[in-house]
Amino acid sequence: MTQTNPLLTTPIEDGFRMPGEFEPHAGCWMLWPERPDVWRENGRPAQQTFIEVATTIAQFEPVWMGVSSASYATARAQLPAPVELIELDYNDAWMRDNGPTFVVNDAGELRGIDWDFNAWGGLYRDWKADDQLASQVLRLRGYGRYKTHLVMEGGAIDVDGQGTLIATEQSLLDPLRNPGRSRDEVEAVLRAYLNVQKVIWIAEGTHEDETKGHIDNLCCFARPGVVALTWTDDENDPQYPISLAAFEQLSREVDACERPLQVVKIHQPTPMHSTAAEAAGVMDFPGTLPRNENERLAGSYINYYVANGGVIVPQFNDRFDTAALETIQSLFPNRKVVGIYAREILLGGGNIHCITQQQPMGGSQK
Amino acid sequence: MTQTNPLLTTPIEDGFRMPGEFEPHAGCWMLWPERPDVWRENGRPAQQTFIEVATTIAQFEPVWMGVSSASYATARAQLPAPVELIELDYNDAWMRDNGPTFVVNDAGELRGIDWDFNAWGGLYRDWKADDQLASQVLRLRGYGRYKTHLVMEGGAIDVDGQGTLIATEQSLLDPLRNPGRSRDEVEAVLRAYLNVQKVIWIAEGTHEDETKGHIDNLCCFARPGVVALTWTDDENDPQYPISLAAFEQLSREVDACERPLQVVKIHQPTPMHSTAAEAAGVMDFPGTLPRNENERLAGSYINYYVANGGVIVPQFNDRFDTAALETIQSLFPNRKVVGIYAREILLGGGNIHCITQQQPMGGSQK
């Protein structure tokens, strides 16, 4: 849990920027799911899905997976050899949110940003290890660490790598995360640390998303100038006005390079709810977050991961699954699109994008 | 996982000694069991027994329990408030074996010994966190750390606090633990670090004990001059010759103060074997230690924990349970003897003594 001293500068001062997820990666970070008050049956079903995600990504790029000391042997036994296991200390397995956000410069150097983390506004207790995870990873690998006390998770932002960022006010201005901070104050931190010139603020994220507004379940850049957006044609679904507002706003916007944005709708899966058996499998005690049956799950195909030459897309055995794969394939014509049945990740509160964190290649990809 | 620098001296040079377990404690260390290739059903049944042990000990003295970051919330929710939870990094929950061995001096100071640990001769992989656990604890509490590269677990030794130590050749001279080391070499380390003047070497520990010979399942000092020994009247049980040899040897011995030893037999529980359901509940993959049904379990009432004013004794719903409690009560007339049904701990490979580690009060209790 020891930290190295943080850098005394900001990425923008040092010429570092956050690349788009679609730019080349050195590899992908993940964490082994264990937490028995989040993952039903002490994580066993979720572990099988994480194994499938890791195995698939490993076909495209290196995968480094953190694991607790207690679960090292069983994780090692079940994961294929190319997935590297590293003992790390963490509270839960959402590497997108508790991991470092990597930035690169034109000379090919890589550094990481260590945001403050408070478990999505105190949703789960405790979060001490998660808050120190980015620092652990950066120290382990010897990468420079930028530290800022903005409370933020990696899933709360998406960038095009060319100066544009999208985020929601719901998550970044959440009074349980950054009380008293104005939008301008938060935006100034994003500009300085991610080296962006334009921040597009969306009001809110997907309906019933327990992250309270993560952009990465609502919309993301498929490439500069193109944003994929979760959508529903059902005007009675509470998701409808959320997606409609985002669509209308994004369609009016230009990016940091003054390009208008093309918005590509991807119809969401049919609304899903947790079953009694799924809820009962989660350890539930006073002081832990309860899971009840028949809770609406925030299913979205947008929560995919872009790997080198591949895109890993959640599937739900739903009638919209195929259309989502086809649309995403059209957005990434030079990558292999792979669908993975991912309900077990969704039950934990996120999806494939939330459990992965790309480490970009150093160097400019502009 | 950071270590403080070890001391450059030895306990004997500094006037520190290991007290007997029956001397006053500051408290008791434990660890939360989680490892799914050791504890069936991902530890849930064992956790219930650990909770009962911790709750019972907490009636007599403070209990400090280590827990992984992932399990903090569920452990906290289930443990009574007096049990203090501390996030620690460890592979498995045998605090007797991977924890520090505490030593005290006459001025009331406390320090700890950090032995090398290799998972009972490489029985489980990996053991990196367990090997660093003693150092973690000592650093956390600011206690001085003595480091020696003898490979040893706390369950391999028992002392009377007045200069006498008992151990088995089977465990300390195990070629998978201390290859090439002679008995004299090992004894010299024990003398220097535990400040004992006499080491009584027993040949071997209990039958089918997976620790390969830990003394703490075979016999222990109830007080100076009195040793409790697991026993069987069944001459056909493989345990019989082991207990008989120990009885005969100990009956001939004198301690460091030249007192003859009184040996008190405690009849073992009826031989027990693991069931198919118990074995099936343990995660079993290539590279993890397999658990099979119908394995003989090394049940012994000797594996009790002596607390301030109490003795916590394993019970097995066996016909010898009551006799064991009565004999132990006669050995500790001023303590409350409490039996706890402990088959779930035994299934993991040890018992109540193995999952506890007393932290003595500073100061001489001679």
> What average pLDDT score do residues B151-161 get?
98
- Most B-contacting residue of A69, A90, A127, A128 (CB-CB within 10 A), to test interface: A69
Q: Are A163 and A198 contacting, i.e. CB atoms less than 8 angstroms apart?
A: yes
Q: Which residues, numbered 64 to 93 in chain B, qualify as contacts with chain A under a Cβ-Cβ cut-off of 8 Å?
A: 68-74, 76-78, 87, 89-92
Q: Tell me what pLDDT residue A362 has.
A: 77
pTM > 0.80:
yes
Q: Which helix (H) or strand (E) holds B140?
A: helix B128-141
Q: What is the pLDDT of residues A114-172, one digit of tens each?
A: 999 999 999 998 999 999 999 999 999 999 999 999 999 999 999 999 999 999 999 99
Q: Tell me what pLDDT residue A364 has.
A: 45
Tell me which of A38-42, A85-89, B286-290 is least confident.
Answer: B286-290
Mean pLDDT of chain B: 96
Q: Do B34 and A283 touch (CB under 8 A)?
A: no
Active site residues of B: 354
- pLDDT-derived band of residue A55, with 50, 70 and 90 as boundaries? very high
The answer to whether residue B154 scores a pLDDT higher than 60 is yes
Q: To the nearest 10°, report the CA torsion of A62, A66, A67, A73.
A: 30
C-alpha–C-alpha distance, residues A304 and A338, integer Å: 10
Q: Tell me what pLDDT residue B327 has.
A: 98
**What phi, psi does B254 have (nearest 5°)?**
-120, 155
Q: Tell me what pLDDT residue B311 has.
A: 98
- Who's near A344: CB < 8 A, 6+ residues apart? A39, A40, A45, A46, A48, A49
> Does B333 contact chain A (CB < 8 Å)?
no
Q: Tell me what pLDDT residue B2 has.
A: 53
- Who's near A47: CB < 8 A, 6+ residues apart? A32, A33, A39, A75, A78
Q: Please give the sequence-ordered ranges of beta strands (E in DSSP) within chain A, or none if there are none.
A: 25-31, 63-67, 83-87, 101-104, 110-116, 144-151, 157-159, 164-168, 198-202, 219-223, 226-231, 262-267, 272-273, 296-297, 305-307, 310-315, 336-341, 357-360
> What average pLDDT score do residues B122-134 get?
95
C-alpha–C-alpha distance, residues B39 and A353, integer Å: 32
**What phi, psi does B284 have (nearest 5°)?**
-130, 110
Q: What is the pLDDT of residues B36-59, one digit of tens each?
A: 999 999 999 999 999 999 999 999
Q: Do B42 and A37 touch (CB under 8 A)?
A: no
The answer to whether residue A363 scores a pLDDT higher than 60 is no
- pLDDT-derived band of residue A2, with 50, 70 and 90 as boundaries? low
Give the pair of three-digit tokens for residue B114.
């950090």
Residue B295's Cβ-count burial label (10 Å; 0-12, 13-18, 19+) is: middle
Give the pair of three-digit tokens for residue A222.
């498929």
Show the domains of chain A with their CATH numbers: 11-360 (3.75.10.10)
Q: Which of B70, B77, B125 lies nearest to residue A68, judging by beta carbons?
A: B70
DSSP string, B176-241: TTSTT--HHHHHHHHHHHH--SEEEEES--STT-TTSS-GGGTEEEEETTEEEEEE-S-TTSTHHH
Q: Do A124 and B73 touch (CB under 8 A)?
A: yes
C-alpha–C-alpha distance, residues A366 and A339, integer Å: 29
C-alpha–C-alpha distance, residues B101 and B67, integer Å: 19
Q: Which of B42, B89, B288 lies nearest to residue A89, judging by beta carbons?
A: B89
Give the minimum alpha-carbon distance from B90 to chain A in angstroms, rounded to a whole number: 6
DSSP string, A38-91: TSGGGGHHHHHHHHHHHHHHTTTS-EEEEE-TTTHHHHHHHS-TTEEEEE---S
Q: Which of A35, A77, A285 lies nearest to residue B77, judging by beta carbons?
A: A285
The answer to whether residue B366 scores a pLDDT higher than 90 is no
In the beta sheet, which residues pair with residue A144?
A111
Residue recorded with tokens 């529903």: A232
C-alpha–C-alpha distance, residues B72 and B86, integer Å: 8
Residue recorded with tokens 């001293």: A5
C-alpha–C-alpha distance, residues A220 and A223, integer Å: 9
CA-based nearest residue to B347, from B41, B52, B74, B117: B41
Q: Do B126 and A44 touch (CB under 8 A)?
A: no
A35 vs A366 pLDDT, higher one: A35
Buried b or exposed e, range A258-288, using 16+ CB within 10 angstroms: eeebebbebbbbebbebeeebbebbbbeeeb
C-alpha–C-alpha distance, residues A148 and A116, integer Å: 7
CA-based nearest residue to B228, from B266, B268, B194, B259: B266
CA-based nearest residue to B40, from B254, B268, B263, B280: B280
Q: Tell me what pLDDT residue A366 has.
A: 39
B326: left (phi over 0), alpha (psi -120 to 50) or beta: alpha
Q: What is the pLDDT of residues B73-88, one digit of tens each?
A: 999 999 999 999 999 9
Using a CB-CB cut-off of 8 Å, the residues of chain B touching A69 are 68, 89-91, 126, 128-130
The answer to whether residue A345 scores a pLDDT higher than 60 is yes
- Who's near B199: CB < 8 A, 6+ residues apart? B164, B165, B166, B167, B187, B190, B191
Q: Tell me what pLDDT residue B286 has.
A: 86
> What average pLDDT score do residues A88-117 get?
97
The answer to whether residue B4 scores a pLDDT higher than 80 is no
> What average pLDDT score do residues B171-190 get?
97
C-alpha–C-alpha distance, residues B262 and B252, integer Å: 10
Residue of B nearest to A287 (CA): B77
C-alpha–C-alpha distance, residues A272 and A294, integer Å: 8
Measure CA B15 to chain center.
24
Mean pLDDT of chain A: 96
HSE-CB at A83 with a 13 A cutoff on CA atoms is 25
Q: Which of B1, B34, B87 lies nearest to residue A128, judging by beta carbons?
A: B87
Q: Which residues, numbered 248 to 307 in chain A, qualify as contacts with chain B under a Cβ-Cβ cut-off of 8 Å?
A: 283, 285-288
Q: Tell me what pLDDT residue A4 has.
A: 74
> What average pLDDT score do residues A172-179 get?
97
Q: Tell me what pLDDT residue B365 has.
A: 41
Q: Which helix (H) or strand (E) holds B340?
A: strand B336-341
Q: What is the pLDDT of residues B189-209, one digit of tens each?
A: 999 999 999 999 999 999 999
Determine whether A354 is an active site residue.
yes
Q: Do A287 and B72 touch (CB under 8 A)?
A: no
Q: What is the pLDDT of residues A225-250, one digit of tens each?
A: 999 999 999 999 999 999 999 999 99
In the beta sheet, which residues pair with residue A300?
none
DSSP string, B153-192: -GGGEEE-SSSEEEEEHHHHT-TTTSTT--HHHHHHHHHH
- pLDDT-derived band of residue B3, with 50, 70 and 90 as boundaries? low
- pLDDT-derived band of residue B364, with 50, 70 and 90 as boundaries? very low
| DSSP-derived 3-state class of residue A114 | strand
C-alpha–C-alpha distance, residues A85 and A63, integer Å: 9
Q: Do A92 and B70 touch (CB under 8 A)?
A: yes
Residue recorded with tokens 């001490």: A128
- Most A-contacting residue of B48, B74, B85, B91 (CB-CB within 10 A), to test interface: B74
Q: Which of B70, B90, B283 lies nearest to residue A35, judging by beta carbons?
A: B70
Residue recorded with tokens 């994580």: A43
C-alpha–C-alpha distance, residues B133 and A206, integer Å: 43
HSE-CB at A133 with a 13 A cutoff on CA atoms is 36
| DSSP-derived 3-state class of residue A335 | coil
> How many CB atoms sit inside 10 A of residue A77's CB?
15
> What average pLDDT score do residues A317-328 get?
98
> What average pLDDT score do residues A286-290 get?
87
HSE-CB at A198 with a 13 A cutoff on CA atoms is 17
Give the minimum alpha-carbon distance from B40 to chain A in angstroms, rounded to a whole number: 12
